[in-house]
Amino acid sequence: MERETLIRNSIISDMSEGVMAVRFDGRIELANDAALAILEKTEEELVGSSFVRAFFGEEENDAFVQSVLDAVYEKGRRMESYVPYRTGRGEKQLRIVSSCLREQEKMTGVILVISDVTELTEMRDAMKAIDRIQALNHQLEMRNRVLQETFGRYLSDDIVREILDSPSGWKLGGQKRELTILMSDLRGFTALSERMEPQDLITMLNHFFGEMYEEIERCRGTLIEFLGDGMLVIFGAPAPSETHAADAVAAAVGMQKRMEAVNRWNAERGYEPLAMGIGINTDAVILGNIGSEKRTKYGVLGAAVNLTGRIESYTTEGQILISPGTRAAVASELRISHTLSVQPKGVDGSIELSSVTGIGAPYGIYLAQKAEEKLQPLARGLNLTFSALEGKHGSGETKEGTILALSEKEAILKTDAELALYTNLMLRIGEDLYAKVTGAENGTYRLCFTAKPPCFPAWLREAGYEAEGEKEA
């Protein structure tokens, strides 16, 4: 950021032409001294302020305002316009040349080069005016290359179009709309992050997000925000779609398929493998611009969003769970491995979630069927203590149990305590392990590990607990 500031200051500050950068959210990112002088505004009036607030009250300058809006609407191409601009000291003639800022092929804002051509328009020597204009064009191209590197922001093109296509696009407010919400989360990422160097962690996470976003974009999803190691994505907005539920499921299956390549990339760099759970829900939400006049984001609100988070919390690694609403809204054939009945917090009664492993035409994308991992009985039971988790925190009540059988991903726990299905547990066996209850039968519970030490279960064998057959071998 320091280098970018130096570049901006050294190139822009001494320009005789005005330079103003307007972000797609309407905020003026930059105005150099020349722009302030030409427009007869102070830095406080422009930089960091809303373009609407700074200029829309000046009816005599409607042509100037319209030229900027035209540049935003036609963001894919360079534009040039000549407009009058009135101040308290008279009327000027301005030349405005606009182009878009890009970063990694993403359009992020509009750059305006503003020239006071009042004298040029009065000149009789047309050749001098042409030479001057050509010089301005050359300067514009040179400065834009630097500005595009300096001012980079990410925002969905669809969201920008939704905001700008209506006069109220920049205003706070929203509408009720049915769409499909996808939430993802990495299993055991908190424990993993404590074992990694910060730079390695960010490198790994950025690569993971990059792979996931490609799949989301391919299926016409809109990434609303990153939730730590997770994502909140909507389908069916801002651009309406009749297939938003199916698109979301296809994206989820594609995201899980990409995890194999992600983990190969991780292994090549000595990083631990990642595992993701995805929850999907289709229902009505409030959609629009949320926040304050100074800070606004495009987002979604409502019980449907909360339910999506609850659905995701039931997932184990590599799993996709969808709500009844999503299942009913998908016209394509779904491959469903099993269903589970749950009673999420805030929902009256139970709902049936479907574990999806594929979706048919026109998507035709399926997860590979994995062989069921065999649990190995322990030579002698492993006694432990555990507690149920509420959110990411223990309930405080410690209980006792015994591990009877074990695999890399699952365990059989015997305990006198009564455990509800899908309860998250923190197990204390020398180190803290985390697991979810996925089955119950005759006082024993099947657990699926959600976070464990990287050397598990080798660490378990080193502690003197051997699987059946290992002793004899």
The answer to whether residue 344 sits within a structural domain is yes
- Cβ-based neighbour number of residue 245 at 10 Å: 27
At 170 the pLDDT is 45
Nearest alpha carbon to residue 315 among 333, 338, 299, 332? 338
Which CATH number characterizes residue 303's domain? 3.30.70.1230
Q: Which residue has the tokens 């300067």?
A: 139
Least confident of 40-44, 270-274, 373-377: 373-377
Nearest alpha carbon to residue 394 among 418, 426, 423, 419? 426
Residue 215, pLDDT > 50, answer yes
124 and 81, same structural domain?
Answer: yes
Residue 146, pLDDT > 90, answer no
Peptide bond into 457 cis (omega under 30): yes
Point out which residues pair with 231 in neighbouring strands: 184, 226
34 and 142, same structural domain?
Answer: yes
Locate the DSSP E strands across 15-126.
18-23, 28-31, 79-87, 90-103, 106-116
* 179 contacts 158 by C-beta, under 8 angstroms: no
Nearest alpha carbon to residue 54 among 63, 42, 67, 38? 42
282 confidence band (pLDDT: 50, 70, 90) = very high
Mean pLDDT score across all residues of the chain: 80
**DSSP state string for 209-245:** HHHHHHHHHHTTEEEEEEETTEEEEEES-SS--TTHH
For 143, the domain range is 2-155
At 405 the pLDDT is 87
Strands 376-390, 393-394: pairing kind? antiparallel
pTM summary value: 0.63
Count of domains for the chain: 3
The answer to whether residue 227 sits within a structural domain is yes
- Residues with Cβ within 8 Å of 69's Cβ and at least 6 positions away in sequence, in order, are 164
The answer to whether residue 473 sits within a structural domain is no
The answer to whether residue 109 sits within a structural domain is yes
Percentage with pLDDT > 90 across the chain: 26
277 and 425, same structural domain?
Answer: no
345 and 227, same structural domain?
Answer: yes
Point out which residues pair with 80 in neighbouring strands: 97
Point out which residues pair with 411 in neighbouring strands: 406, 447
What is the rounded CA–CA span in Å between residue 254 and residue 257? Answer: 5
**How do residues 302-341 score in pLDDT, each as one tens digit?**
899 999 999 998 998 889 999 999 999 999 999 999 898 8
Region 165-174 average pLDDT? 51
At 11 the pLDDT is 63
Nearest alpha carbon to residue 293 among 111, 45, 26, 68? 26
**DSSP state string for 307-323:** HHHHHHHT--TT-EEE-
21 and 128, same structural domain?
Answer: yes
472 confidence band (pLDDT: 50, 70, 90) = very low
* 117 contacts 94 by C-beta, under 8 angstroms: yes
55 and 25, same structural domain?
Answer: yes
Residue 210, pLDDT > 50, answer yes
**How do residues 243-261 score in pLDDT, each as one tens digit?**
999 999 999 999 999 999 9
Name the 3-class secondary structure at 281: strand
Nearest alpha carbon to residue 386 among 366, 354, 414? 414
What is the rounded CA–CA span in Å between residue 343 and residue 273? Answer: 31
180 confidence band (pLDDT: 50, 70, 90) = very high
Name the 3-class secondary structure at 326: helix
